Amino acid sequence: MAQNSMERVRNIGIVAHIDAGKTTTSERFLFYAGKSHKIGEVHDGQAVMDYREDERSRGITISAAATTLEWNKHIINLIDTPGHVDFTAEVERSLRVLDGAVVVFDGVEGVEPQSETVWYQADSYEVPRIAFVNKMDRIGADFDASVESMKDRLAAEPIPIQFPDGSSAEFAGIVDLVHERYIVFDADTLGRDMTESDIPERLQEEAATRRAAMIEALAERHDPLMELFLAEEPIEQEHLLEAMRAITLARKATLVMCGSALKNIGIQPVLDMVCACLPSPLDVPPVEGTHPKTGEELTRAPKKGEPFSALMFKIQAKDAADMYYIRVYSGKLETGGRVINPRTGSKERLRRILRMHADRGEALKEIVAGDIVAVTGLHKTATGDTLCAENEPILLETIRFPDTVVSIAVEPRTAGDREKFSQVLERAQREDPTLQSTLSEETGQTLLSGMGELHLEVVLGRMQRDFGVEVNYGKPRVSYRETAAAAASGTGEYARQVAGENLFAKVGVSVEPLANQGAKAEVESKLRQGELPPQYLPGLMDSMANAADGGGLYGYPVTGIKVCLDSVKFDEVGQPEIALNTACSHAFREALQAAGTQVLEPYGRLELRVPEDFLGNVHKTLNQRRAIVEETGFSKNMAVVRGVVPIGEMFGYLTVLRSQTQGRGSFSLEPLDYRPIPDNLVALHHEKLYG
């Protein structure tokens, strides 16, 4: 791909809260770009991007789907992501490899809980974005309130470049403030035909006021435009577009548009703005990495002569051959070409390269910088791994996923399915990094852990439907943690004769609590130089970390502590590593017993929307579930309750809420942090889990 061609590439994602209309918007993108010959509707189970059976039956996106389309001589690589919090890892790995995003908001609800999550995920990856306020045809839709909610709840700086002509049933068209035009979309052609005209007289005063505010907001963030503004020079459309693009790329503000994807209103202007203002691969900084052996900092840019580098961000398990989705950052590679995985040191061959359209692929002869494609033939590559040229290795930053919070006990229903069950479980975990399985030493059961009840329900459904494995499973449970209640120290000693040699070691360890109780245990050494030969130190550090992960006084992983190696004495005969590591584990245990531990449980950020008439009963039920209500507001005859609650208390709550509100209540729950469980509940919870 030539430089001038790469300028016309856009790697973007569609992100939002569940039911804001992401997939519906994506389907219109495909239809108007000529990629699809008919519009696939989510509610009919016919959406192209929701191609999995469980997605179509549930009417939600579960797995991120990729496609490529053309618009205004631009190539748009598009990823449609899930909106449900249980599948937030799909958004995480997509944003890791994307250059820009379209954030969709519900015109009635404005910013919703998962809107905040995806917004901050995009912030963490420094992804430029534009906003689309959808569902302006719904009763109660309010464009200005949605924009204000972006300011209030996201601390964003939105700049509306359009405004709607009416809302709900009166939503008739869109006023474009940049080009000063009024746009109506033809319902008979499913919005394909647009009519542009002068702004109607009844809207001219409002348009003038809003356009002046838009120009002022843009000028405040773009010096060349500010110079024209202060000099009272004419400001042309090209000046505005230049400022809009610069501001978007620098993430100084977010351009806001509006429409109704379901009613086919306002989609083409969004595509225009994707091409005009979101970045190409040339507009983003070179990707950073390190040399896998020396640790030297390296960069790779999408320019001629750079060696090949790519990040594998998603695996899709297939019967014929697993599909590995990669983002190419530099260089080029032909089908059948060899690369190296610097994490494992293994050489891989890309047997097939496919440009994906949901579940269908188009074979390519080569890939170049800026491409997002699927490949086959990889064997020792996992999600987040780098693929690069053998003679120019680089290790790119991997993808970090949130910890699991919910677990269930699973087992195959028949003995004959046991081997197949293990294979399917391994395959599911390879595809989904947030799915974890462990074997309980106490019960012999397989514990399956995920991001929520729905996440685990979907996984179990796929086991049965797609792989033919019947399973029995217990009720969901949360993943508890422990942390030190105070600072303390301990000493461990190992003295034993092994293979005729007297092994001896004595290790001193101290623990102290950290402010973030849910953070992984930190380990450090306070030994003086020369006190321990350097070859033994990594083993001792690993022993301390493994001891914390292995469980505290109640058997839960220990988090939120710092573990320090204070002193070491040992005899350097035979294999002193055995004596040192064992003594270290004993010392950690003694220090933890001296400190005492607190059991921690995961909390989630809760938001409920219920009719005002039912608010009293809902508050009562929340109190019973140990929820902490932080805020209660009112919007359009609905009460909005926000707070935090132990995740374990919310299992089965949806059924209770629906019965209390005649089916009209809804809630969302996002993992937040870990907090101490009340002392009177520790023994009860431990008894439930371990008998």
Residue 568's region, left for phi above 0, alpha for psi from -120 to 50, else beta, is: beta
- Calpha distance 465→459 (Å, rounded): 10
How high is the pLDDT of residue 211?
A: 96
How high is the pLDDT of residue 662?
A: 74
Which of 23-32, 484-493, 525-534, 633-642 has the lowest average pLDDT?
A: 633-642
What is the DSSP code (8-state) at residue 647? G
How high is the pLDDT of residue 471?
A: 86
Closest CA to 196 of 175, 171, 165, 168: 175
Q: What is the pLDDT of residues 151-170, one digit of tens each?
A: 988 889 999 999 999 999 89
How high is the pLDDT of residue 42?
A: 56
The whole-chain average pLDDT of the chain stands at 87
Mean pLDDT of 668-676: 85
Q: What is the pLDDT of residues 567-584, one digit of tens each?
A: 999 888 777 888 898 999
Q: pTM for the full model?
A: 0.75
Q: How confident is the model at residue 636 (pLDDT cuts 50, 70, 90)?
A: low
How high is the pLDDT of residue 6?
A: 87
Mean pLDDT of 82-88: 73
Q: How confident is the model at residue 246 (pLDDT cuts 50, 70, 90)?
A: very high
C-alpha distances in angstroms, 676 versus 500, 551, 591, 680?
48, 16, 20, 11
For residue 521, the tally of other CB atoms under 10 A from its CB is 22
Q: What is the pLDDT of residues 44-84, one digit of tens each?
A: 555 555 556 655 666 666 667 788 999 999 999 998 888 77
Q: Which of 173-182, 391-400, 419-428, 455-464 has the highest mean pLDDT?
A: 173-182
Q: Hey, what's the torsion of the CAs at 599, 604, 605, 608, to 10 degrees?
A: -120
Helix or strand holding residue 211 (H, E): helix 201-220
- Calpha distance 259→241 (Å, rounded): 20
For residue 65, give both structure tokens.
């789907």
How high is the pLDDT of residue 2?
A: 47
How high is the pLDDT of residue 50?
A: 57
Closest CA to 374 of 315, 320, 318: 315
How high is the pLDDT of residue 689?
A: 47
For residue 294, give both structure tokens.
């020396």
Q: Count CA atoms within 13 Å of residue 134 on its CB side.
A: 28
Q: What is the pLDDT of residues 498-551, one digit of tens each?
A: 777 788 989 999 999 998 888 889 999 998 888 888 888 989 999 999 999 888
pLDDT above 90 covers a percentage of the chain that reads 47
- Calpha distance 663→653 (Å, rounded): 12
Helix (H, G, I), strand (E, B) or coil at 377: coil
Mean pLDDT of 19-27: 88
Q: What are phi and psi of 381, to 5 degrees?
A: -120, 130
Mean pLDDT of 650-655: 79
What is the DSSP code (8-state) at residue 528? P
Q: How confident is the model at residue 654 (pLDDT cuts 50, 70, 90)?
A: confident
- If one compares 657 and 397, the residue with the highest pLDDT of the two is 397
Q: What is the pLDDT of residues 206-236, one digit of tens each?
A: 999 999 999 999 999 999 999 998 988 888 9
Which of 242-246, 440-444, 458-462 has the lowest average pLDDT?
A: 440-444
pLDDT above 70 covers a percentage of the chain that reads 92
Q: What is the pLDDT of residues 279-311, one digit of tens each?
A: 999 999 999 999 998 889 999 999 888 999 999
What is the DSSP code (8-state) at residue 331? S
How high is the pLDDT of residue 690?
A: 46
How high is the pLDDT of residue 441?
A: 57
Q: Is the pLDDT of residue 269 over 90?
A: yes
| Strand partners for 493 | 506
Closest CA to 209 of 177, 233, 167, 256: 177
How high is the pLDDT of residue 446?
A: 82
How high is the pLDDT of residue 52?
A: 64
Q: What is the pLDDT of residues 190-210, one digit of tens each?
A: 889 999 999 999 999 999 999
Q: How confident is the model at residue 273 (pLDDT cuts 50, 70, 90)?
A: very high
Q: How confident is the model at residue 323 (pLDDT cuts 50, 70, 90)?
A: confident
How high is the pLDDT of residue 375?
A: 92
- Calpha distance 89→76 (Å, rounded): 23
What is the DSSP code (8-state) at residue 516? -
Which of 20-29, 164-173, 406-415 has the lowest average pLDDT?
A: 406-415
